[in-house]
Amino acid sequence: MGNYRAESYHRCELGLVAERRPAAERRGARLNRAVVVALLASLVVAGSAYADSQDSMRALDEQVQEVKSDVLAIATELQQLEEKLLFPSDTQVAVFVSVATGNSFDLDSVQIRIDGEPVAHHIYAWKELEALRKGGVQRIYTGNLPTGEHRIEVSTAGTLPGGSEFDETESFPFRKDVEPKVIDLTLDRGSVGGVQIELGGD
């Protein structure tokens, strides 16, 4: 009799354990599904937030570019206004330097004197020389002169393609009228060696 009760109790206990185990498994499955759903929801939210962030960054970048454009335009206007104030049209003189097409000499420096006074001295970097060779024009000097007769003296130094150095100085007369004066200096390879300077402008 005692053995029968013990066996019945044991079977009942096994049945309870068997019932508890599927319930625990169901709770675990529901928990796993909840975790997966939560992860998917967080990914969706994160993706939406990332998209919104990208849109905000693009909008901000466009605003920054607009501000840069406005600042550059204002800086250009201020520079032009400053130039008009510092160099009125009736006294303004500007000197430009260029290199004739097809020249390959290395220009080291250019020095400008007007009426015996040094007004500009520039030493050229490699990129500047390349720009001149490709047709670029450099404004080397802007200043004021009274109307009348004047003289400009130009000194150049550098190296010719064969390796020999040159150091040339030439002077030219010019007249300053009431309009702004533009002087164009074109450097070209001389027929007898060295570099010759051609004067042009308005």
Which residue, among 164, 169, 165, 163, has the nearest Cα to 110 in the 3D structure? 169
Cβ–Cβ < 8 Å for 112, 139: no
Distance between CA atoms of 145 and 141, rounded to whole angstroms? 12
Which residue, among 171, 169, 196, 168, has the nearest Cα to 183 in the 3D structure? 171
DSSP codes joined into one string, 87-118: S-TTTEEEEEEEE-TT---EEEEEEEEETTEE
Q: What are the tokens at 169?
A: 């100085």
Query: How many CB atoms lie under 10 A from the CB of residue 86?
Result: 11
Q: Which residue has the higher pLDDT, 198 or 42?
A: 198
The residue extents of the domains of the chain are 1-86, 92-201
% of the chain beyond a pLDDT of 70 = 68
Q: Which residue has the higher pLDDT, 91 or 153?
A: 153
In this structure, CATH architecture of domain 92-201: Sandwich (2.60)
End-to-end CA distance of the chain: 133
Q: Which residue has the higher pLDDT, 163 or 140?
A: 140
Distance between CA atoms of 136 and 186, rounded to whole angstroms? 11
Q: How much is the pTM?
A: 0.58
